[in-house]
Amino acid sequence: MAGARIRTGHLLSFLFTFLQHGAEAALQQRQVLLLYYAEGLNMREIGEKLGVDKSTVSRNIKRGERRLRRCLRSGAESLFHAEKRETKTEK
């Protein structure tokens, strides 16, 4: 059960880092993802709110989702290796 809490903690940390930090290019991706998923706005509404075309919103959603997937994959790999090291040191 403790392992599940560790995994959840690392996942939340990764998500928080993704949403709070990063390169300037990722700033609009994060903003668009938050408006789309958290606020429930559609692409047209987001475009109007940010003053960009709907296609730009769509592209930023796709790129942001890809970036988030990479972060999660990377975090899962590092978490897996960290847990293996913890298991070895406990024995």
5-64 confidence digits (pLDDT tens):
445 556 556 665 655 555 556 788 888 988 998 889 999 999 999 999 999 999 999 988
d(CA 68, CA 15): 8
Classify residue 39 by its DSSP letter: S
Range 54-77 average pLDDT: 84
**Contact (CB, 8 A) for 33 and 68:** yes
pTM, rounded to two decimals: 0.61
**Amino acid at the residue 38:** A
Helix intervals (H) in 1-91: 2-20, 24-33, 43-50, 54-90
